């Protein structure tokens, strides 16, 4: 019989996106762990990106800040929840619920005991709601406020004429199910509700990529940037810190490609906050701490830490004094005084230290990988995000990098709003007045493929455990093998799909066909479906070719076998994957799925509905970049190790 074949792995032609002609309003939403922000722009004025402010507040300040607390308070079932600056500071407000989208096994072990996280989970349980419900309630209020601000600026008549393009950011390190839960929350919030006048569309973008788009806009006119330069974007937020590195491929217009595989970790500002809270508790007598209560502690943290020590601290040797916000009677006369708590500079350093070490490790690992692969250091490290404005973070990185790599940290609100501004920039791409994306290619953070069977089974190439007899083809096959369209570390060109050809053999008509797609986070993905290969999704075909129309061949018994040849095409946008299955040029199945960089997931099991067949001759992958095993080291145990010595050991040539 003829030997089954597969087309070579490679990129197909990209789809050309024609410029939009109808007016649209682009709304970028950065839903953060501690603060959220919204940016918007008109497709006809892409150079003007606006930031939502004028938040409703219970205080005499904060209403014009560029972001709003990710906090919500359920006063009673009949009232609209208080949110943002209007939510009370203290135990009655729900915070940190963004991280509650993650399953326990996807929270690093060292964070599972976090007081803030435990409090958030307990609050959700007490309220009898899921994190998706809390997020949808919060997003509903955020959306209604933002839409009202845009309508006041543009007018109701113009808004009715305009389509809405909503771009929502997500941490790059989140597992796939988190995207689906976020999408559910967005739909429950009413953001995608039907509008009789114009459409509303939804798109996701990784937080570090959004931050990078905003950073590109900020540095595009720098005279010291040239083609071939690398720069690292460190998006340090409340919960996650994401690292991504780009190479400049063109200056006019500014174009970049991702240099090495990005990384990230749950080591944001909230974990520093939690450590300061523990320090504060150790300083205040137990009776006073209990008298303060959770609400009092929260107010103290907000006034003295969040808006006091944390943004100002720069390791300048200064000690800090905090007043306990209640009075005690003096012994000698009928007056009251507030007891003072003294906190030393060294104690604040110790509060920051473990989080700083993790962030520095993320940055230095990226720099080391750029040095290893390109034989040169990045030109810049650009700090963005709320935590990216931290003076102490700048000092730690500057000291560690010894001025070998310049660190850029803007002042004011620009670092804080980088992610939502970048989301708006993504939404503007393809509009009539905007050029195509500045990002030309990405690096795959995981491997993606499909389960298939290899025929014939070969003793030298295949595991004996996978040897099975196929009654249709009358040969032994290597069952449940992994065919990888995209391997971890591969370059993904924006808008260029990856294609693979498969075929399936039948000896009788079938009512349904379902294709099983898989992924793996292993550095070297397995060729067989072992425990490292996870099931991504099943795509059920919407149209099945007529059995009698399929070409025929005969097996060794002379039995007639029908063969169905088809192509699986995959396109990535950084957060999700678009899959299309086509037969003779006609799409018979398609699906958009979230990409998954987590270690969780259901192990891929044999699909009883179908097997894909290819022959055992594989393509040459010698040009594929494979990251080293040390790509994700744990944060160092500092001990008495000198910071400069540690950094020098991490970055060759420094």
Name the pTM for this structure.
Answer: 0.81
Q: How confident is the model at residue 528 (pLDDT cuts 50, 70, 90)?
A: very high
**pLDDT at residue 124 greater than cutoff 50:** yes
Residue 107's CB is within 10 A of a number of other CB atoms, namely 16
Is residue 464 within 8 A of residue 482, CB to CB? The reply is no
Q: Give one DSSP letter per residue of 89-114, joined into a string.
A: SSTTSEESTTGGGS-GGGS-GGGTT-
Share of the chain above pLDDT 70, in %: 84
Mean pLDDT of 136-164: 95
Query: Scanning the structure block, which residue is given the tokens 């950084």?
Result: 574
Query: Scanning the structure block, which residue is given the tokens 């996978």?
Result: 466
Residue 408's CB is within 10 A of a number of other CB atoms, namely 18
Q: Which of 64-68, 467-471, 623-627 has the lowest mean pLDDT?
A: 623-627
What is the crossing angle of helices 115-127 and 269-283, to 10°? 100
Selection from 78, 272, 106 nearest residue 176 by Cα: 106
User: Which tokens is 131 given?
Assistant: 């994190």
Q: What is the pLDDT of residues 271-311, one digit of tens each?
A: 999 999 999 999 998 888 988 888 889 889 988 999 899 99
What confidence score (pLDDT) does residue 563 get?
A: 95
Q: Which of 63-67, 119-123, 287-291 has the highest mean pLDDT?
A: 119-123
Q: What is the pLDDT of residues 171-216, one digit of tens each?
A: 988 887 888 899 999 999 999 998 888 899 999 999 999 999 999 9
3-state secondary structure of 440: strand
Strand 230-236 and strand 163-170: the pairing is unpaired
Residue 476's CB is within 10 A of a number of other CB atoms, namely 17
Mean pLDDT of 329-336: 44
What confidence score (pLDDT) does residue 651 get?
A: 41
What confidence score (pLDDT) does residue 19 get?
A: 46
Is residue 264 within 8 A of residue 362, CB to CB? The reply is yes
Q: How confident is the model at residue 566 (pLDDT cuts 50, 70, 90)?
A: very high
Q: How confident is the model at residue 218 (pLDDT cuts 50, 70, 90)?
A: confident
**pLDDT at residue 596 greater than cutoff 90:** no
3-state secondary structure of 443: strand
Domains and CATH numbers, the chain: 10-15+442-619 (no CATH), 24-210+420-436 (3.30.420.40)
3-state secondary structure of 240: coil
Interior CA angle at 625 toward 624 and 627, to 5°?
145
**pLDDT at residue 333 greater than cutoff 70:** no
Is residue 400 within 8 A of residue 275, CB to CB? The reply is no
Residues 6+ apart with CB under 8 A from 534: 518, 519, 520, 596, 600, 601, 602, 603, 604
**Cα–Cα distance measured from residue 362 to residue 632, given in angstroms and rounded to the nearest whole number:** 8
Q: Which of 48-62, 111-125, 367-381, 534-548 has the lowest mean pLDDT?
A: 48-62
Q: How many residues would you count in the chain?
A: 654
What confidence score (pLDDT) does residue 60 get?
A: 61
What confidence score (pLDDT) does residue 185 get?
A: 96
What confidence score (pLDDT) does residue 11 get?
A: 34
Helix (H) or strand (E) holding 210: helix 207-219
| Higher-pLDDT residue of 307, 600 | 307
What confidence score (pLDDT) does residue 405 get?
A: 95
**pLDDT at residue 616 greater than cutoff 80:** no
Mean pLDDT of 545-574: 92
First to last CA, the chain: 61
Is residue 50 within 8 A of residue 124, CB to CB? The reply is no
User: Which tokens is 195 given?
Assistant: 């509008």
What confidence score (pLDDT) does residue 618 get?
A: 40
Mean pLDDT of 115-127: 92
| Higher-pLDDT residue of 258, 18 | 258
Q: How confident is the model at residue 603 (pLDDT cuts 50, 70, 90)?
A: low
Ramachandran angles phi, psi of 640, nearest 5°: -100, 15
Q: How confident is the model at residue 635 (pLDDT cuts 50, 70, 90)?
A: very low
What confidence score (pLDDT) does residue 431 get?
A: 66
What confidence score (pLDDT) does residue 545 get?
A: 92
**Cα–Cα distance measured from residue 387 to residue 395, given in angstroms and rounded to the nearest whole number:** 13
Q: What is the pLDDT of residues 375-395, one digit of tens each?
A: 999 999 999 999 999 999 999
Q: Which of 64-68, 117-121, 331-335, 395-399 has the lowest mean pLDDT?
A: 331-335
User: Which tokens is 517 given?
Assistant: 């797609």
Q: How confident is the model at residue 631 (pLDDT cuts 50, 70, 90)?
A: very low
What confidence score (pLDDT) does residue 400 get?
A: 82
Q: What is the mean pLDDT of the chain?
A: 84
What confidence score (pLDDT) does residue 263 get?
A: 92
Query: Scanning the structure block, which residue is given the tokens 């804080």?
Result: 416
| Higher-pLDDT residue of 196, 418 | 418
Is residue 529 within 8 A of residue 480, CB to CB? The reply is yes
Residue 523's CB is within 10 A of a number of other CB atoms, namely 16
**Cα–Cα distance measured from residue 190 to residue 194, given in angstroms and rounded to the nearest whole number:** 9
Beta bridge partners of 245: 232
Q: Which of 51-60, 511-520, 643-652 has the highest mean pLDDT?
A: 511-520
**pLDDT at residue 65 greater than cutoff 50:** yes
Examine residue 253 and say whether the peptide bond preceding it is cis (omega within 30 degrees of 0).
yes
Q: Residue 202 class from Cβ within 10 Å (0-12 exposed, 13-18 middle, 19+ buried)? A: middle
């Amino acid at each position: 019989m003829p030997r089954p074949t597969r087309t070579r792995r490679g990129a197909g032609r990209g789809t050309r996106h024609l410029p939009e002609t109808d007016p649209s309003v682009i709304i970028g939403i950065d839903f953060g762990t501690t603060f959220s922000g919204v940016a918007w722009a008109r497709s006809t004025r892409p150079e003007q990106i606006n930031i939502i402010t004028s938040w409703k507040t219970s205080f005499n300040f904060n209403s014009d800040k560029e972001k709003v607390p990710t906090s919500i308070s359920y006063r009673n079932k009949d009232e609209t929840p208080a949110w943002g600056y209007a939510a009370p500071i203290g135990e009655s407000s729900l915070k940190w619920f963004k991280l509650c989208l993650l399953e326990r096994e996807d929270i690093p072990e060292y964070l599972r005991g976090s007081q803030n996280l435990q409090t958030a989970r307990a609050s959700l349980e007490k309220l009898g709601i899921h994190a998706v419900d809390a997020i949808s309630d919060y997003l509903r209020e955020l959306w209604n406020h933002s839409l009202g601000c845009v309508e006041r600026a543009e007018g109701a008549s113009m808004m009715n004429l305009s389509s809405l393009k909503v771009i929502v950011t997500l941490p790059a390190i989140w597992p796939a199910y988190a995207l689906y839960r976020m999408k559910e929350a967005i739909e429950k919030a009413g953001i995608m509700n039907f509008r009789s006048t114009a459409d509303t569309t939804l798109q996701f973008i990784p937080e570090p990529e959004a931050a990078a788009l905003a950073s590109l806009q900020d540095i595009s006119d720098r005279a010291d940037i040239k083609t071939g330069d690398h720069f690292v974007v460190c998006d340090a937020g409340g919960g996650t810190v994401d690292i991504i590195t780009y190479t400049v491929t063109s200056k006019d217009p500014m174009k970049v490609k991702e240099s090495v595989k990005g990384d990230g970790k749950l080591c944001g500002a909230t974990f520093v906050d939690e450590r300061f809270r523990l320090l504060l508790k150790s300083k205040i007598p137990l009776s006073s701490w209990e008298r303060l209560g959770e609400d009092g502690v929260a107010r103290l943290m907000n006034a003295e830490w969040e808006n006091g020590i944390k943004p100002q601290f720069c390791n300048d040797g200064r000690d800090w004094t905090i007043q306990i916000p209640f009075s005690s009677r003096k012994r000698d006369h009928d007056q009251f005084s507030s007891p003072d708590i003294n906190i030393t500079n060294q104690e604040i350093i110790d509060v920051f230290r473990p989080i700083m070490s993790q962030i520095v490790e993320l940055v230095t690992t990226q720099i080391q990988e750029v040095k290893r692969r390109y034989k040169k250091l990045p030109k810049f490290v650009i700090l963005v995000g709320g935590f990216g404005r931290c003076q102490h973070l700048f000092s730690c990185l500057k000291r560690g990098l010894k001025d070998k790599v310049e660190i850029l940290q803007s002042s004011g609100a620009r670092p804080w709003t980088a992610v939502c501004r970048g989301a708006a920039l993504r939404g503007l791409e393809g509009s009539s007045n905007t050029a195509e994306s500045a990002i030309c290619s990405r690096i795959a953070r995981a491997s993606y493929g499909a389960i298939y069977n290899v025929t014939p089974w070969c003793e030298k190439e295949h595991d004996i455990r996978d040897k099975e007899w196929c009654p249709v083809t009358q040969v032994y096959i290597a069952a449940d093998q992994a065919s990888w369209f995209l391997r971890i570390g591969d370059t993904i060109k924006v808008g260029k799909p990856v294609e693979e050809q498969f075929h399936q053999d039948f000896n009788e008509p079938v009512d349904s066909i379902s294709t099983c797609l898989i992924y793996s986070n292993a550095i070297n993905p397995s060729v067989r479906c072992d425990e490292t290969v996870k099931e991504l999704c099943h795509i059920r075909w919407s149209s099945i070719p007529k059995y009698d129309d399929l070409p025929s061949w005969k097996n060794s018994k002379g039995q007639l076998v029908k063969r169905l040849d088809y192509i699986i095409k995959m396109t990535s946008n950084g957060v999700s994957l678009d899959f299309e299955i086509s037969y003779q040029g006609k799409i018979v199945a398609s699906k958009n799925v979230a990409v998954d960089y987590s270690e969780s997931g259901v192990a891929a099991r044999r699909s009883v509905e179908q097997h894909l067949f290819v022959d055992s001759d594989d393509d040459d992958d010698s040009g594929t970049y494979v990251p080293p095993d040390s790509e994700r080291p744990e944060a160092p145990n500092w001990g008495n190790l000198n910071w400069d010595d540690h950094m020098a050991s991490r970055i060759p040539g420094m």
